[in-house]
A and B are shown apart, each in its own frame.
Chain A
């Protein structure tokens, strides 16, 4: 049997662009029958876009797809399903108010004389679950009472039952599962593998990649870094490929960094002791100093955003405390943080940052105004002055300050949000993925900006998936792995050391 007969799926030269960003750049992807293939990469790498192209949500500008020897053009997820490509998303797309049996058989319920035969439906559901997944649960209970793990099983069962699936795509299925449930899922996956189903498994848990997959494909910034045999790829190398080991010239930046490190205060501005939030981040200690940039390094899901949210008061901690400028923090809320002089430029600019129908000017002064309260209104002249200042400073591309922010490109929106927090003149500024979706030139500018903020005496926390950025900008680096702080290094540390810390292996 030749190689090509074993391939259930071949994607060749897939390219897809969105306004302002090249999401996929000539990517190739091959999946064999009965193969578990992991797709990894940080946010913005192009994983979800690749899947969207495969399942027909988006149409590629270039490239073609061949399924089981025949070329295909998928039009929609339903269409993809009929071709044998089933997807189970992280957000369970089922109806939690209906029973398990109903969810599996919705739309195809067995009937007797034109009315639903509940007994048969329940029996069928039990059989399907047992046969394809070896899972045994009460199918007459509403889906919503079950844990996410079980719900996923049900989703998988439905997906498999509808059309004889050739390919099963699992998009971040383990994010809400505990160890035991993960093993259950893996058991199911292995059974499917035996039956010849090709599985694409997207995850950011490196351990799981090694545990379950045969092959691993790494994407980064829309480009294919490579497809590897999982067993023969050392963990360290995998992570290096994901978050980058570049040979860029670091000289200029390290000079700036060296200069600014002289201004770091010894007395800590913020002390977090045993700060933790169950389910989000294990208790950790952290000290932040004025004039210092602390970088948080780690993979997606390691707890970086959770730390940011705790420090800014979005979430209340379950354990531990924060001391800010000597006083213990009692009001955990965004407004409280702003009043203390803390700012957070959030990770998800669409859902947590931008107020898209408001103008650029309004978005920029929003936090300042929140701090002032209802009645101390910034005069229109003041608003324009502030807005103009930051439009100039950050080179925000907009025809006028009165443009609704929603009309701006993603990168410029990010700059507006950054401007908002810079305008509050905080003592501590937390930046969660501030350079995501921004062009290379501006990325460098922002990194320089962060260092200059430290120079002015501010404390900064810098979070990024791009390790080189973190290295360039930080005086100190904290490493996180699987929701736990595992190490802390000085900013002059070697990149490999960090990658090893993230990987959990020895250098």
Chain B
């Protein structure tokens, strides 16, 4: 029996798999779409690129998916990062200003040339990512070394970060016209380009956490950091790593978002999006008390959120009602994953497994 590494196909394994709940949720929403929204599943092929409502879900959800990847790791260490929206804004501002620094001279000039950029693309993206890494390190140091509560520590950057973003663009909205940059959020290679970015980040993170010991250490620290300490794991370094990484993901998300709306708006980019990211992780089964995580489940959670948004739009629900509906979903999911339900399930499986 010990040689059976992959247990035989059993319903219980599916139900207890972390992907179960978010997939079911996604399935239900798509079912709803299939029944009530004609043409929701149609996929057009225009010049080799695929378009359609289904594709849109992925495209519009890519920012939250990116954030959810970083947030998953942070929450797994029993922490939280409230500053991701602000970091998005900072990265977007950095990128915007490097392509169009007119704002620094207090001018806003109308750029018509889509090939114009003040700095080459790699400098633009590189600087934005470096800035977001710095933000991540800041959070990490506050939480891991100064032992400030994660909610409080990241709250500071959440408040100050918007100010910093506006500092970078001198308070003005920077218009973005540089085509190659706009490709990040709006480009298409068969599928939307942002999807490839998400896939790349996901693949990289998966390699980093599952093909090295990092993933196991993160989970260990989140579950019981004292036992992890006794086993020789340096909790401080792990926490510093996850917050830094979350900052990086936020930076990437900021680039995609600003490329999507073609502007670096320090005020509105990523506003309140941290809450979406946290919820995506929770829908994906992540416990805010830390522990086991699944990147895929969190991304599916992000898709669930986006699918709800998209479906409501398609059905004709006005944009604003969405927030109320999101709240209902949150409540439902939280109840589903609440302690009572969890211990109920655990009780059932424990009875069968205890030797």
Assess the A408–B2 pair: CB atoms within 8 A.
no
Min distance, Cβ A85 to any Cβ of chain B, angstroms: 30
Which residues from B are CB-within-8-Å of A358?
A: 216, 219-220, 223
Chain A residues, CB < 8 A from B5: 384, 402
Bound form: Cα–Cα A334–B235 in Å? 12
B292 within 8 A of A: yes
- Which B residue sits closest to A338, measured CB to CB? B232
Complex CA gap A456/B354 in Å reads 35
User: Quick one: given A334-B231, A346-B230, A399-B1, are A355 and B224 in contact (CB under 8 Å)?
Assistant: yes
Contacts of B234 in A (CB 8 A): 335
Residue A90 is within 8 A (CB to CB) of chain B in the complex: no
Using A407-B353, A409-B355 as known contacts, say yes or no to A374 and B227 having CB atoms under 8 A apart.
no
Chain B contacts for A374, CB-based, 8 A: 212-214, 217
The answer to whether B227 and A420 have CB atoms under 8 Å apart is no
| B291 proximal to A (CB < 8 A) | yes
Say yes or no for A394: interface residue by CB 8 A criterion: no
A339 — nearest CB in chain B belongs to which residue?
B232
Closest B residue to A344 by beta carbon equals B230
Q: Which of B1-36 contact A (CB under 8 A)?
A: 1-5, 7
**Number of chain B residues whose Cβ lies closer than 8 Å to a Cβ of chain A:** 31
Q: Please give me the residue from chain A that is nearest to B233 by CB atom.
A: A370
B147 within 8 A of A: no
Contacts of B350 in A (CB 8 A): 407
B227: chain A residues within 8 A (beta carbon): 351-355
From B2, B230, B355, name the one whose CB has the most chain A CB atoms within 10 angstroms: B230
Please give the distance in Å from A358's CB to the nearest CB on chain B.
6
Task: Give the chain B neighbours of A441 by CB distance below 8 A.
Answer: none
Complex: how many Å from CA A351 to CA B354?
21
B211 within 8 Å of A (CB atoms): yes
For B1, the chain A residues whose CB sits under 8 A away are 399-400
From B2, B212, B226, B230, give the contact of A377 (CB < 8 A): B212
Q: How far is the CA of A408 from the CA of B353 in the complex (A)?
A: 9
Which residues of the other chain, A, contact B223 by a CB distance below 8 angstroms? Answer: 355-358
B355 touches A334 (CB 8 A): no
B229 contacts the other chain (Cβ, under 8 Å)?
A: yes
B228: CB under 8 A from chain A? yes
Binding-face segment, A23-31, A38-46, A361-369: A361-369
Q: A338-B232, A366-B220, A391-B2 are in contact. Are A377 and B213 (CB under 8 A)?
A: yes
Which residues A265-308 have CB closer than 8 A to chain B? Answer: none
A7 contacts chain B at the CB level, 8 A cutoff: no
A residues contacting the other copy or chain, number (CB 8 A) = 45
Measured CB to CB, the closest approach of chain A to B240, in angstroms, equals 12
- Bound-state CA distance A357–B223 (Å) is 7
Smallest beta-carbon distance B251→chain A, Å: 22
User: Do the beta carbons of B232 and A367 come within 8 Å of each other?
Assistant: yes
Residues of A within 8 Å of B292, CB to CB, are 357
Q: Are B211 and A408 in contact (CB under 8 A)?
A: no
Q: Does A372 contact B (CB under 8 A)?
A: yes
- A233 and B226 CA atoms in complex are apart in Å by 42
A373 to chain B: closest CB distance in Å? Answer: 7
Would you give the 0/1 interface string for A389-427, flagging 1 where the beta carbon is closer than 8 Å to chain B?
001000001111111000111001000000010000000
Separation of A384 and B6 alpha carbons in the complex (Å): 12
Question: With an 8 A cutoff between CB atoms, is A113 at the interface?
Answer: no
CB of A357 to closest CB in B, whole Å: 5
Binding site for A on B (CB under 8 A): 1-5, 7, 211-214, 216-217, 219-220, 223-224, 226-234, 291-292, 350, 353-355
Can you list 26 pairs linking A and B with CB atoms under 8 Å apart? A314-B229, A314-B230, A335-B233, A337-B232, A351-B226, A352-B230, A355-B220, A355-B227, A356-B223, A356-B224, A358-B219, A366-B220, A366-B228, A366-B233, A367-B232, A370-B217, A373-B213, A374-B217, A377-B213, A384-B5, A397-B355, A400-B4, A400-B7, A402-B5, A409-B354, A420-B231
In the complex, the 3 A-B pairs of residues with the closest C-beta atoms, listed nearest first = A370-B232, A335-B232, A338-B232
